[in-house]
Amino acid sequence: MIFKYTQLKIITSLSSKTNFFMRVVIQRVSTASVTVDHNIVSQINKGLLVFAGIENSDTTEDIVWISNKIVNLRIFNDENAIPNIALTEGGGDILLVSQFTLHAAIKKGNRPSYNRASKPENALPLFESLVVQLEKELGKKISTGVFGADMKVALLNDGPVTIWMDSKNRE
């Protein structure tokens, strides 16, 4: 009985110190594309290339928050070359690419660990939910990579503007 209580206390202590979250890297692009097996499967011009890393504890709340932030970020230049226009106002597109490596842990050694990244059977439904939410908020279809495929991503970063966000550290 004491062992179980101590074990539970240690597990609770460890989990309260671990921050798991959906991570995204957003890049403002002039053009971006995804190629799989030498075939371009998705391509956009002006807009946002979004890499999304999904973790097991991500929820619908995380998806809604991230999606809202992505489509409403005021990072496109206005007539005075000031980043003051959101994607919803600027008419750009989104290319969303799943990228589990955003959850790489490199604390020990030189080989990254991806233990925090959600397994495909859990990540795919959340990724698909993110696609649906982004389309709903943007009011049009978005482009995607191919989930789980070996993708070649090409982009022309505009600015460059690159923003990193996570759903549990809402700064």
**pLDDT given at position 87:** 94
For 138-158, the pLDDT digits (tens) are: 999 999 999 989 999 999 999
pTM of the model: 0.82
| Residue type, position 135, single letter | E
For 75-99, the pLDDT digits (tens) are: 999 999 999 999 999 879 999 999 8
- Within-domain flag for 7: no
Comparing CA positions, the residue from 29, 60, 34 lying closest to residue 128 is: 60
- Within-domain flag for 152: yes
The domain of 67 spans 20-166
Provide the number of structural domains found in the chain: 1
- Within-domain flag for 68: yes
- Within-domain flag for 6: no
Structure tokens at 91: 């008419």
Q: Residue 99 in contact with residue 123, Cβ under 8 Å?
A: no
- Positions marked catalytic: 101
Structure tokens at 6: 């101590």
- Within-domain flag for 123: yes
What CATH number is given to the structural domain containing 49?
3.50.80.10
